Amino acid sequence: MPSAYTQNFYHAVFSAKHRANIITPEIETRLYPFIRGVLDDLRCTLLAINGMPDHVHLLIRYRADLSHSEVLRHVKGRSSKWMNETLLLPDRFSWQQGYGGFTVSKSAVP
């Protein structure tokens, strides 16, 4: 059976809707592992995650058969659903539409 070997590294950045400062340290401790689980389900590797109260940065190694938009659709969709169902937030949470995405050279990956 033919196979392919690829290494695709991708830096993604996405924000809370209206750049709301909703991602507190307490939420981070639960949100970041949840996002890792979504990427694990997609058989992608989360190499780094960090952020600020209004946005998140991810460094992902992803499969060649998945597009950037498909990976981020799953991450953003599943995490916003989880936040609304699991966390006691004052208002309904959603991510801002769109994202920033940048390919990263293997030599720049820690």
pTM value is 0.91
Contact criterion met (CB below 8 Å) for 54 and 15: yes
Question: Coil, helix or strand for 6?
Answer: coil
What's the whole-number mean pLDDT along residues 22-43? 97
Q: Are 27 and 35 in contact, with CB atoms under 8 Å apart?
A: no
pLDDT-derived band at 6, boundaries 50, 70, 90: confident
User: What is residue 1's predicted lDDT score, i.e. its pLDDT?
Assistant: 52
Cβ atoms within 10 A of the Cβ of 60, count? Answer: 25
Domains within the chain, CATH numbers bracketed:
14-105 (3.30.70.1290)
Residue 87 confidence class, pLDDT cut points 50, 70, 90: confident
